[in-house]
């Protein structure tokens, strides 16, 4: 009995130590910053874009890349995923702006030249600064908010609180805590997770046309999360399932064409 008691104590201590480590490291896991190096658009092969440094409401300096929209064309306000950096998205950005559509793409705090350290509230402050930058230059009806992966939570928050024209969510989730709970089934993540990005609680306040795109084989964010979020959203809305699509490769399955059609007139 004494031996079993000690085994239980050791296992319990190990479990608690694991919980403590997860709690301390949770933001490193949620925000795996790929690079802190600042690279100008031209150096990244995107001379069409202008770099601007914005000041968030708490004083952090965040970078956006801006390609001015041609007269009468819409403008995409793009919020990337947690493993993205702007220079790594140049190929897609070029495709987005090829028809004269404008672009404002945000580098979150701590990412690729922006100051500070990421958190949910921090990213929402950064997004507010990017939105303010966009609305100084464009009518809100021309603004299409586009979020990818983690950025869908940021995009939903913006569209729920501010006037925009349309909303695109690529590989979205109901909340990051739902995704984490599905991965760490033996951990009380709902009690421990600080940055939960509750899109499920915000999406009903989005009243503009909505497009959700999700791959059926997404290994990072199961399509079930996107389907649940879609069910909570208001009309007009459209869900496009890309059969065989993963997380990072939806352009290979027609996501860019689907998004551009939506941007240029489709209402779901």
Binning pLDDT at 50, 70 and 90, where does residue 19 land? confident
Per DSSP, helices labelled H in 98-198 are 120-135, 150-161, 176-183, 189-192
Q: Are 33 and 76 in contact (CB under 8 A)?
A: no
Tokens linked to 52: 């601007």
Rg (CA), the chain: 20
Give the β-pairing of 75-79 and 102-107.
Answer: parallel
Quote the pLDDT of residue 268.
42
Quote the pLDDT of residue 267.
45
Binning pLDDT at 50, 70 and 90, where does residue 187 land? confident
Q: Is 145 exposed, middle or buried (0-12, 13-18, 19+ CB in 10 A)?
A: buried
Task: Return the number of other C-beta atoms located less than 10 Å from residue 71's C-beta.
Answer: 6
Quote the pLDDT of residue 114.
98
Q: Give the long-range contacts of residues 182-185, CB within 8 A, separation 24 or more.
A: 182/222, 184/22
Mind listing the pLDDT tens digit for each residue in 132-165? 999 999 999 999 999 999 999 999 999 999 999 9
Binning pLDDT at 50, 70 and 90, where does residue 11 land? low
**Residue 6 in this model has a pLDDT that exceeds 80:** no
Mind listing the pLDDT tens digit for each residue in 69-109? 999 999 999 999 999 999 999 999 999 999 999 999 999 99
**Residue 13 in this model has a pLDDT that exceeds 80:** no
Quote the pLDDT of residue 130.
98
Binning pLDDT at 50, 70 and 90, where does residue 185 land? confident
Quote the pLDDT of residue 1.
60
In this prediction the pTM is 0.93
Mind listing the pLDDT tens digit for each residue in 188-215? 889 899 999 999 999 999 999 999 999 9
Binning pLDDT at 50, 70 and 90, where does residue 12 land? low
**Residue 265 in this model has a pLDDT that exceeds 90:** no
**Residue 54 in this model has a pLDDT that exceeds 90:** yes
Q: Is 244 left (phi over 0), alpha (psi -120 to 50) or beta?
A: left
């Amino acid at each position: 009995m004494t031996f079993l008691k000690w085994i239980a104590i050791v296992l319990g201590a190990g479990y608690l130590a694991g919980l403590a480590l997860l709690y301390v490291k949770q933001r490193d896991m949620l925000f795996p910053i790929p690079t802190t190096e600042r690279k100008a658009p031209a150096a990244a092969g995107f001379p069409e874009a202008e770099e601007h440094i914005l000041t968030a409401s708490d004083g952090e300096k965040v970078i956006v890349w801006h390609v001015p929209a041609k007269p009468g064309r819409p403008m995409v306000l793009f919020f990337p995923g947690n493993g993205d950096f702007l220079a790594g998205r140049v190929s897609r950005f070029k495709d987005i702006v090829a028809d004269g559509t404008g672009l404002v793409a945000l580098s979150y705090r701590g990412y690729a030249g922006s100051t500070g350290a990421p958190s949910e509230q921090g990213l929402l402050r950064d997004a507010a600064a990017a939105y303010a930058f966009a609305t100084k230059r464009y009518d809100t009806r021309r603004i299409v908010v586009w979020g990818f992966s983690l950025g869908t939570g940021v995009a939903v928050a913006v569209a729920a609180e501010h006037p925009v024209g349309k909303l695109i969510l690529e590989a979205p989730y109901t909340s990051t805590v739902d995704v984490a709970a599905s991965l760490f089934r033996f951990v009380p993540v709902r009690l421990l997770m600080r940055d939960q990005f509750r899109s499920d609680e915000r999406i009903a306040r989005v009243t503009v046309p909505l497009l959700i795109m999700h791959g059926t084989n997404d290994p990072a964010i199961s399509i079930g999360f996107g389907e649940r979020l879609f069910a909570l959203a208001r009309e007009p809305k459209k869900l496009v399932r890309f059969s065989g699509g993963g997380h990072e490769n939806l352009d290979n399955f027609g996501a860019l064409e689907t998004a551009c059609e939506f941007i240029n007139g489709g209402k779901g």
